[in-house]
Structure 1
């Protein structure tokens, strides 16, 4: 379900509160609260003014782009609702100038009607001196809506319109005439394709919960920025390596009669600007992954990428999703020059909404180097190999433990969302999958225990990471040292060697952590297991399981839970996730 909780004073005042806050951030701005118009306070009236706007809820668009080098004014409606014509007219009056005004709107009926009416009223009242000084441009860049479905309405406006704002705004700030600014804006608008993807719809503050939602493993393609449904749902959610090619097809296809909107040649001569836009609820981490996948897909298609822009530019409130836009640059025989378009895109813009971008093409992707866990770790020791008593069973036991951790990930993650930072299950799962891979490749065989355990320590370091990864890596590294030190020339490890090595490893771990049982950490079941090991493996596992269960009643003294409100832990009665991971491993072994 869409996130339905919001932090605000009142839904009715949210837009004005937000715009007031924006003006505190950007002191170039002035604000007309009754009409919700944000505009440049010091306007050069010898230059063309750009006015845009529409419903709120798409921040930083539109008001976040008002400032030197971009827009002159933004007229804001309520959330997802067009401003009235009188609001728009006020915005036009506030930026009245000698060079003329270009009004830019996204292709939505309410925006077209209200902004258009205001433009016509202004022209009628200045019929003699300024009727030709206002131009109006509608931008529609959505490629999800096909020609048949769109009919006479055409394509919706999405994040690609921001590129029109930037390029036209830069030309206006450089002194371009109204005709020149309109001409380049119109050309750019016709060369942009955008497609959006969402994991869920958004929730509008002050409204009832949405009646429909996507399932937990479903994604929607082609959705609009006002909660409009998309044209396709996919389940399960595909990886980016499968999703991005599908999205790029929507934009670049010339064989799809419904969506071949842009004149791509797809022959290696196309050059584009790539824009990856956060629809409001995506993490920067994920957006970076989308950028990489999109850049790689365009490289495979021999589509040149002259610029890459990424960030939160046009949202749908808190929608967890993103959109991809491609601006197809002009070729040598076309009206505008690619170098001119790019120079306007690169020109500075003093607005909080516009994201920094490099003024050069992206570097060629660097091939990923193999990680330490992808190859068998080697040891520099020249000592004889020490094998497991039953090598095949050793490998099988590791595989059982890996499978158990993967299966337990949702429950461990649930525990960690209450008692920690929410990543313990995923961290253990990543380590388990990496160990499992080595066993299936035959890199871990049980014939050389020291090397096998060092390999596991490397996985904990590189594939798991974080606190848990460091603790596991230290423990396993010390365990390998302990086996070497206590084997006493034997070629096969014995229970006595295991016991001595485990005790040595725990003592080594204690030099790097202050946690001692009971501390509500993974040390609790680990220490219980090692202390009881002399009584047999089965009894030691029972002791570890009991210690892990007991962590739900233990006051947190170290680890992730030490920062969690004690009352929450007392109320929820959830065991420590790290301790539960140790229990899971030992029981599977």
Structure 2
């Protein structure tokens, strides 16, 4: 897959400061030193311990998104993926200089450690009486880099760092001493394990357009948050039910001394689970990751005390996610903070934009309504109408659905220009479901009205969207119209169909404003119905020809309804693309007739 290399910005060199200004617009209690790129809480209570963090930009909402009441006193920001210099950090310390002391928390990257560490030493040299009032904590929670590979560098700092911010930030707000805040942060750093996985690397604004680092079927496990390569690649991309257990095994396994950093004990462990979006993963996918992680931890006998999920520490726009486990203290852990207290600190609300809502309780089993048993629709007091030619009826439906499935690539191509690209797949899904109902007998020649109801249900349940609703209404209305024209039963011959179709179309028009010429599926549908009814069913081929002409004519029409109405008109005319929904109707009626679409 390609790297997303387009960005919304004025100038790349101004993006970090403008982003910090945006946070100030959200919270009037924040102050900003634009020269040094320090965001700070101007209302900070200086009688309490100040928590300071920072590092390169590009990890938003970390770090500046956590500045405010209940978390950080200040964040010092560098350029994208570049540590701030010591002068910037020293300015940050001075801006929130606290009588109770300061705890500096940095991720385990050489630049951050050197620059923040140097600023700490400079502060101590300038203020000898406060030299012991500034503490330094380094967070390294990445388990993808083993001890042998990391050697003296150690584990990289990843999303687990945010849990430290939250817990010790709340602890500082409660008025805890400098030593308690510091030792709690140090303890938490030893109990964190994080691993990330990405579909592709990210792109830094202002740099050359990125090239794909991974193949279209590859994922990379253990990628860093600065585009550092991961520990291994997998192909093809495994389903979450396979991938998430693999990641959790890497996090919790103590069998590999090179990669075991946290003393997990297996069943009976109590953890906080953090599921973090690395920047480019949809909320839809994130929810599925959460449920798989929770399910696999339960299988391992690990008790999840809290689940925290959202976008906490990104790698710009990287399509990926990370899993973090914070192992809570057990009964035998001496000199450890109280687990209940740590959870209460995590649960406390924080007035910062980067921290997401959490439920604040042990995640109970979700209330999931079981799938209702399948039911077969029955028609009240409906006379059974049989197909005049049973074999021809079944064959026609089979041909029509085959035609839709065959046309899927072309319909998808059309809709990628004229809509949102899903029309081909939507119609194909409906066609495949109709074919399944042909096989299981829900659609049969002995009950034409019931068959129309079954097709309507397929459109409703398997297609969805606007097309599904329109087809569902039309076939449901057709069932009613057939019943009205043959209340005592009989056979569905050409005359009956020609009499029933106009009523179905009229009922459909009560739910849509689209009328020919409209560049929608109603254009060929009405053309077919009108021609078929005029001939009282005697000229099927002529009606199909009329529908085909109407579908083709949509390429020259201005869109008045449907998704194409939102597409720039000149583009549609230049591309000469017919409406994909109309083209789908053309394929259906041509398939019914038995000619190539």
TM-score (norm 2): 0.90
1:130–1:474 CA distance, 2 compared to 1 (3 A):
same
My pick for the range that moved more, 270-279 or 374-383, is 374-383
My pick for the range that moved more, 538-547 or 470-479, is 538-547
Contact persistence 2:494–2:538 (CA under 8 A): no
Structure 2 matches for 1:96-495, cutoff 5 A? Answer: 96-127=97-128, 129-267=129-267, 269-334=268-333, 335-370=336-371, 375-388=374-387, 398=397, 401=400, 405=404, 408-409=407-408, 411-439=410-438, 441-487=440-486, 489-490=488-489, 492-495=491-494
TM superposition shift of 1:411: 4.4
Query: Which runs of no fewer than 5 residues in structure 1 stay unpaired?
Result: none
My pick for the range that moved more, 237-246 or 103-112, is 237-246
- 2:595 corresponding residue in structure 1: none
My pick for the range that moved more, 481-490 or 241-250, is 481-490
Give the RMSD, CA atoms, in angstroms: 2.6
1:303–1:532 CA distance, 2 compared to 1 (3 A):
farther
1:491–1:53 CA distance, 2 compared to 1 (3 A):
same
TM superposition shift of 1:155: 2.0
Counterpart secondary structure, 1:35: coil
My pick for the range that moved more, 95-104 or 235-244, is 235-244
Contact persistence 1:528–1:540 (CA under 8 A): yes
Q: Distance in 1 between matches of 2:294 and 2:396?
A: 42
Counterpart secondary structure, 2:385: coil
My pick for the range that moved more, 182-191 or 484-493, is 484-493
Cα deviation, 1:427-470, whole Å, max 9, x if unaligned, reads: 43444454455445554444433333323322322333332222
- 2:27 corresponding residue in structure 1: 26
Q: Distance in 2 between matches of 1:587 and 1:243?
A: 45
1:459–1:256 CA distance, 2 compared to 1 (3 A):
farther
Contact persistence 1:217–1:236 (CA under 8 A): yes
Counterpart secondary structure, 2:359: coil
Counterpart secondary structure, 1:309: strand
Contact persistence 1:376–1:455 (CA under 8 A): no
TM superposition shift of 1:407: 5.8
TM superposition shift of 1:368: 4.8
TM superposition shift of 1:237: 3.1
Q: Distance in 2 between matches of 1:325 and 1:391?
A: 61
1:448–1:297 CA distance, 2 compared to 1 (3 A):
farther
Q: Distance in 2 between matches of 1:305 and 1:406?
A: 45
TM superposition shift of 1:583: 3.0
Contact persistence 1:377–1:458 (CA under 8 A): no
Counterpart secondary structure, 1:450: helix
1:313–1:469 CA distance, 2 compared to 1 (3 A):
same
TM superposition shift of 1:388: 4.2
TM superposition shift of 1:505: 1.5
Cα deviation, 1:100-157, whole Å, max 9, x if unaligned, reads: 2111111212111211222222223334x22222211111222222333333322222
- 1:571 corresponding residue in structure 2: 574
- 1:555 corresponding residue in structure 2: 558
TM superposition shift of 1:350: 0.8
Counterpart secondary structure, 2:157: coil
1:385–1:305 CA distance, 2 compared to 1 (3 A):
farther
My pick for the range that moved more, 25-34 or 568-577, is 568-577
Contact persistence 2:53–2:75 (CA under 8 A): yes
1:392–1:240 CA distance, 2 compared to 1 (3 A):
farther
Q: Distance in 2 between matches of 1:237 and 1:399?
A: 35
TM superposition shift of 1:420: 2.8
Counterpart secondary structure, 1:34: coil
Contact persistence 1:244–1:294 (CA under 8 A): yes
TM superposition shift of 1:492: 4.5
My pick for the range that moved more, 545-554 or 58-67, is 545-554
1:225–1:170 CA distance, 2 compared to 1 (3 A):
same
1:491–1:58 CA distance, 2 compared to 1 (3 A):
same
Q: Distance in 2 between matches of 1:210 and 1:490?
A: 67
Aligned length: 585
Q: Distance in 1 between matches of 2:338 and 2:454?
A: 56
- 2:44 corresponding residue in structure 1: 43
Cα deviation, 1:524-560, whole Å, max 9, x if unaligned, reads: 1222333344355555444333322221111112222
My pick for the range that moved more, 200-209 or 495-504, is 495-504
TM-score (norm 1): 0.91
Q: Distance in 2 between matches of 1:337 and 1:378?
A: 59
Counterpart secondary structure, 2:331: coil
Contact persistence 1:48–1:100 (CA under 8 A): yes
Contact persistence 2:200–2:212 (CA under 8 A): no
Q: Distance in 2 between matches of 1:23 and 1:541?
A: 63
Contact persistence 1:402–1:433 (CA under 8 A): yes
- 1:7 corresponding residue in structure 2: 8
- 1:74 corresponding residue in structure 2: 75
Contact persistence 2:3–2:212 (CA under 8 A): no
Q: Distance in 1 between matches of 2:445 and 2:113?
A: 71
Cα deviation, 1:321-342, whole Å, max 9, x if unaligned, reads: 2222222222233223221111
Q: Distance in 2 between matches of 1:511 and 1:395?
A: 30
Query: Which runs of no fewer than 5 residues in structure 2 stay unpaired?
Result: 593-597
